[in-house]
Structure 1
Amino acid sequence: MVSISKLVLPILLLLIIFVAFQFKGGESGLFHDKVHMHIFNNLTNGVKLTVHCKDKDHDIGAQTLNFGESYNFVFRPGTVVESTLYFCGFRFNTEFYFFDVYDQKRDDFFVGKDCHWEVHESGPCRLNVLDKPNSIECFPWNP
C-alpha cells in the first residue's frame, strides 16, 4: 500500500473544500454570474427601434422593437481581466447611433445580474438596481 505524505493529505483536503465552495448551488464561484441584458424601446410617438448588439466574439443579432418591447440576451462577464464590452447599434427615424450597453469596468457594480436600459431619442438610460434602487442614469450616444 502506498503511503500518502503527511503534507499531501491536508493539501488535498483543502483543495476539495475550496472546489466544493466554488461550485455551491450549481454556479461556479470562479466566474461572474450571468448578466441578463434588457433593452427597452422607450421612443416617443410609436417610433420603431432596431437594435443590433455584439461583443468582440459574439454577434447577438438584430431585432426591431415596437414601443415598449425589449431586446434581451444573456452573457457571462470576464473573470480574470474585467474587460467584457457589449456594444449596440440603434437605428430609428433614419438616424443611427452606437452605445456600449455593457462595459464591465463601468457596470459590474451597478447592474448585478440584470442590466436594464431604456432607449430615448437623446440616448440610453440605465435603470440602476444595486447602488441606487429605482434610479435612472442617462448617457449620451457614443461619438
Structure 2
Amino acid sequence: MFKILFSLLSVLVISSFTFAAEIVFIDIQKIVRDSVAGKEAQSILENMAKKAQEEISQKEKALKPGDQKAQEELQALAVQKQQEILAKREELIQSFMKNVQDNISSFAKAKNYTLIIDKQAVLYGKDELDKTDEFLKYFDENYKKSKK
C-alpha cells in the first residue's frame, strides 16, 4: 500500500514539475528593441523621418517672407509627411508582430512549451522561465534566413 501511495505521489510531483516547465515568458519589448528585425524597422522609420525633415527644411528655406500660400503648402506638406510616417509605422508594427507571433508559435512547438506569456503580464517568475534571450536568438536566426 505504501509503495502504491508513494508511486502515485511521485507521479503527481513529477507531472507538476513538468507542467511548470512548459510555461515560460518572453520580454516582447526587448525583442522589439534588440532584434535584427526590430532594429531594421526602427532604422526605416528614422530614415523616413530624416528625409521628410530635410524636404520640409529645404522648402522652408525657399519661402519668401509674407507668402501665406507657400506657408500653408509647407504646413500641409508637414502634415502629409507625418501621416506617411505614421502609416509606415503601423505597417511595420503589424508585419513585425505577425512575424514575432509566427516565430513564437514555432519556438513553442520546437521547445514543447504549453504557454508563453509576455513578461509584462508576469507578476513573478523564476529567472529560468525567462526565455527572452533564447527566443531572441531563434527569432534573429529565422529572420536572417527569410531575408536570403
TM-score (norm 1): 0.33
Higher strand share: 1
TM-score (norm 2): 0.32
Which of structures 1 and 2 has the larger relative contact order (alpha carbons within 8 angstroms, sep 6+)?
A: 2
Please tell me whether Structure 1 or Structure 2 has the larger radius of gyration of its CA atoms: 2
